[in-house]
Structure 1
Amino acid sequence: MKTSEIEAGTDNFKENSKRKRNLRIGLVPLFILSLLILSTNVTFAHCDTMDGPLIKDAMQAIGQNNVNYALKWVSSENETEIKNVFNLMMKVRVLSPEAKDIAEKYFFETLVRIHRSGEGVPFTGVKPHGTPIDEKILAADKSIEIGNLSPLKDMVAKDILPELTKRFDKVMSLKNFNVNNVLEGREYIEAYVQFFKFAEGEEEGHATAQHGGDGHTMAAGHAAHIPWVLSGLFFITTLLFGGLFLRKQ
């Protein structure tokens, strides 16, 4: 083989190696970007934490063996699923301490996932005890507990106080519902969520298209997953094209 051919082959090998190295370097920020998009969850609610009101109601449902404590957090269309999971959980949790932990976790996650979908927010798991909660949320909860807005009113703009007071009064008027009247419970949760959304600065509260009286918007729930689907497709496409390019080289 001539020296010129050897040198040409060596140059081609070096060039291909350089291209592959540059491609790998280029894929790194794309990979990181995909992970960042997938991990983003824009929400300030506390319904997905172990210290939040939803999980507290779920625990009460278990303690009282009454799923109605939990059903108010989901729409009527999702009642059957929650009831089935609850009944299964109650049967399994008595088998062993390990079974209890797994069964209850599954119930909590199912309940939170469906509730969050109804709010139009992606489910990212149930946050552990001690997860930091926004001060406004804590103040809003305290206001409902004591029956007046004093813990919250200094944290919000003065011009929204009239509307905030209106929403708070609605929450308080619905607070003492019969736990076994799930429709009344859902009315309370709808008012509760709209009050919190407004206190956090979201003018609309829930999305406008609602299931008759349920107050949970399934269309919004599906729409909330669009960024996750798109980012997932972007991530997969990046890997596929990168792999094909490397194979051709």
Structure 2
Amino acid sequence: MKQQVRTLMAAALLTAGTALTAPSVFAHCDTLDGPVIQDARIALEKGDVTPVLKWVRKQDEKQVTSGFKKALAVGKLDAARRQKEERHFFELLVKVHRASEGAPYTGVKPAGSVDPAIAAADRALVSGDDAELVRIVTEVVKKGLHERFGKAAASRATADTSVEAGRRYVRDYVVFTHYVEALTSGGGTDHGHDAHPKTERHEKHGKSKHTHDH
């Protein structure tokens, strides 16, 4: 089931016409209702920075802990400034986390800006049930297959009428078959990096590890 969900998610991204190598595709961690800031809220509520440290590299712990302590201290002394300082901490945490992924920081996004399939993936992890996720992604995949098949079938019917028509069919054929290949092979589903691609292990070799084969 896990492999099924992973291959379906890869196909869903292709359906949306999005390159798997684009960092912004996986940027749901920079939203107010994303998992990073959810853990930040928990940490502030408990007065314990531990829940957020998993989102950053070891060498960034000191910076994040310092920002956390400041937000916590100001919140206790001045309720009016609490929201502002918490926001500053959220921004710092997201920025540091994004840097650990080799991705640019583009600010903290509003709640509700996460793609529905990604939101469903987060809910599945919390509930331990991936039924909703499979349903959502399956519908996206079905639509993607139908659209690409229809276009390739239509252009195939006129492929021999001219060289240009033949080339149009070849383009549609390639798009369609590559989509099917992504579905059946699961290619690109790991996004080519670990949770922290710029950890000390990777930096030791002088570069982060990214492998994207399309």
Give the direction of change, closer, same or farther, for the CA distance of 1:85–1:66 in structure 2 (3 Å limit).
same
Aligned to 2:66: 84
Give the Å deviation of 1:89: 1.7
Q: Which amino acid aligns with 1:146?
A: S
Q: Which amino acid aligns with 2:92?
A: T
Which of 197, 211, 214 is the aligned partner of 2:199? Answer: 211
In structure 2, C-alpha distance between the alignment counterparts of 1:126 and 1:147, rounded to whole Å: 28
Q: Which amino acid aligns with 2:132?
A: P
**1:76-132 Cα shifts (integer Å, max 9, x gaps):** 010010111111221222332332122111110000001111122211111123x33
1:134 aligns with 2:115: yes
Give the Å deviation of 1:211: 1.9
In structure 1, C-alpha distance between the alignment counterparts of 2:88 and 2:41, rounded to whole Å: 13
Which of 112, 115, 127 is the aligned partner of 2:94? Answer: 112
1:148 aligns with 2:125: no
In structure 1, C-alpha distance between the alignment counterparts of 2:69 and 2:126, rounded to whole Å: 31
**Larger Cα-atom Rg:** 1
Structure 2 gap segments, 5+ residues each: 1-21, 143-186, 209-214
In structure 2, C-alpha distance between the alignment counterparts of 1:58 and 1:202, rounded to whole Å: 30
Does the CA contact (< 8 Å) of 1:44 and 1:134 recur in 2? no
Where 2:132 maps in the other structure, the secondary structure is coil
Matches within 5 A, 1:227-238: none
Does the CA contact (< 8 Å) of 2:100 and 2:199 recur in 1? no
Give the direction of change, closer, same or farther, for the CA distance of 1:136–1:96 in structure 2 (3 Å limit).
same
In structure 1, C-alpha distance between the alignment counterparts of 2:190 and 2:114, rounded to whole Å: 22
Does the CA contact (< 8 Å) of 2:74 and 2:82 recur in 1? yes
Give the Å deviation of 1:205: 2.7
Alignment identity in percent?
35
RMSD between aligned alpha carbons?
3.1
Matches within 5 A, 1:36-75: 42-75=24-57
Higher RCO, 1 or 2 (CA under 8 Å, sep at least 6)? 2
Q: Which amino acid aligns with 1:54?
A: V
Q: Which amino acid aligns with 2:199?
A: H
Structure 1 gap segments, 5+ residues each: 1-39, 159-200, 221-249
In structure 2, C-alpha distance between the alignment counterparts of 1:97 and 1:219, rounded to whole Å: 44
Give the direction of change, closer, same or farther, for the CA distance of 1:117–1:152 in structure 2 (3 Å limit).
same
Give the direction of change, closer, same or farther, for the CA distance of 1:99–1:115 in structure 2 (3 Å limit).
same
